Amino acid sequence: TTLAQHVFNDLRVDEAKFDVKVWVCVSDEFDVFKISRAILEAVTKSADDSRDLEMVHRGMKEELTGKKFLLVLDDVWNENQPKWEEVQKPLVLGVQGSKILVTTRSKEVASTMRSEEYSLQQLQEDDCWKLFAKHAFRGDCTQLNPECKKIGMKIVKKCK
């Protein structure tokens, strides 16, 4: 998620000339209607009162046809391919170069979505400590109390 946020907000992504950039947090429940409506609302930047999926998909088609878009679906757990295909139906009308980025911790989800997979590895403990110390102590570890470092190292080990 953090890496996807950096990509989403990177100026070079803006320079890729996406007409529309959308971020939708999916989480546990992969409800086709709710996700589709969330995408439509993010695209139009307004609430949508559509009562059925067909209306939402029609709105998505109207908004995305002929546009290059970047859609991030964050924290996806759905392994049901027909549900994914239903969400995807109106998205195929975007122009070439449109991208859908999915964040997940499940290889099965990546397979279900037929996506290219990029697995991130856990940071080494030393790198974790440097990152933690940079934010927790504002990068100034020179005057660090040994007890604070000990507690910080415990946090780093627990968080991995």
DSSP structure class, residue 19:
S
Determine the average pLDDT of the residues in 115-137. 83
Quick count: other Cβ atoms within 10 Å of Cβ 58?
14
According to DSSP, the residues that pair with 72 across neighbouring strands are 23, 101
Chain segment 3-32, per-residue pLDDT in tens: 899 989 998 887 778 999 999 999 878 999
Enumerate residues 6+ apart whose C-beta is below 8 A from 41. 47, 48
Chain segment 76-125, per-residue pLDDT in tens: 998 889 999 999 999 988 899 999 999 988 888 888 888 788 878 888 88
Instruction: Write down the mean pLDDT value for the chain.
Output: 88
Distance CA 137, CA 28 (A): 34
Write the CA distances from 28 to 61, 75, 76, 78, 104, integer angstroms.
26, 8, 7, 8, 11
Boundaries of every domain in the chain? 1-113, 125-158
Quick count: other Cβ atoms within 10 Å of Cβ 50?
16
pLDDT at 145: 78
For the entire predicted model, the pTM comes to: 0.76
Distance CA 141, CA 145 (A): 9
